[in-house]
Amino acid sequence: MNTTIKQLSIIGPTASGKSDLAIKIAHKIDAYILSIDSLSIYKEIDIVSAKPSKQELQSIKHFGIDELYPDEYFSVEIFIKLYKQVKELCQKEGKNLIIVGGTSFYLKSLLSGLSVLPNIQEMIKLDVKERLKELKECYSLLYDADKEYMKSISPNDAYRIEKALLIFLASGLTPSEYFRANPPKPIIENLPIYNIDVEREILRERIKTRTQKMLDAGLIDEVCYLEQKYTRAPHSMNSIGIVEVLDFLDAKCTKEQMSELISAHTAGLAKRQQTFNRTQFEGIVSAKLSELERLLA
């Protein structure tokens, strides 16, 4: 029988202690954890993504970790579908839910929602599949019809081009016109959000320490394995920690430079995450890690 569950979210920059805090609170409030991390979603990308340990994953049921292989596509739509499945499971099993991670864009998508897509007939799907063999022509067609929408899409982004073309042909409207006529509806409302506030210098030191731990744990070997199995083509292989190791393997930098670059690029990501969290959410509670732990407990 479905029951009402408590939901909350813990966000913050990379290496701020989100996962540890989420696990502590999950034990106290009898909750499952849904990860919002763009790398932890992938199987076999373990060291680079700094996933919780196997022991931690066994102590509290986690979702959003090891869901896909590195060469499989991941999107907002897939994440929202996963959230709905996890929420339904929590309701059935009488568990609360903690949403935690650094990719706050996915959290934002839950609060903002997605527009319902038009009914797409099988004939149109087949037509689009055939047209996509000439991706550049599809992009040009859409760009000419809707420059406003297409200027933010790469000419090589087959997934988003396919989605835009399906909307265009099924509805008779440009994507911009369609989304204006069909605004998104929130998936979740009134979600308490707790943001870990970390001083920049402290965060830099944590990132530097974590980078060294990743290298000690076999980061280079993991990237070699991933490249051999999946090549460099998948989007996941363009992630921080992987790109720098690949450059090292190509003799573009020394091992010391590689380590410094991983730390520097991770710090840049952390800064962008902090800016996003500060500007994209209303009514969030921001505090130091120890303060948030006391507050949530």
Domain ranges in the chain are 7-112+187-296, 122-181
- Domain spanning 122-181: which CATH class is it, in words? mainly alpha
Mean pLDDT by 10 residues, the chain (297 residues): 84 95 96 96 96 92 97 90 96 97 93 89 95 96 96 90 96 95 92 95 96 98 98 95 98 98 97 94 94 90
Integer distance in angstroms from the first to the last C-alpha of the chain? 28
For the domain spanning 7-112+187-296, the CATH number is: 3.40.50.300
Contacts of 178 (CB under 8 A, 6+ apart): 115, 118, 167, 171
Asked whether this chain's domains 7-112+187-296 and 122-181 adopt the same fold, the reply is no
Beta carbons of 194 and 292 less than 8 angstroms apart: yes
Task: Report helix, strand or coil for 295.
Answer: helix
Residue 97, number of CB atoms within 10 A of its CB: 24
Confidence at residue 3, expressed as pLDDT on a 0 to 100 scale: 67
Confidence at residue 116, expressed as pLDDT on a 0 to 100 scale: 84
Confidence at residue 77, expressed as pLDDT on a 0 to 100 scale: 87
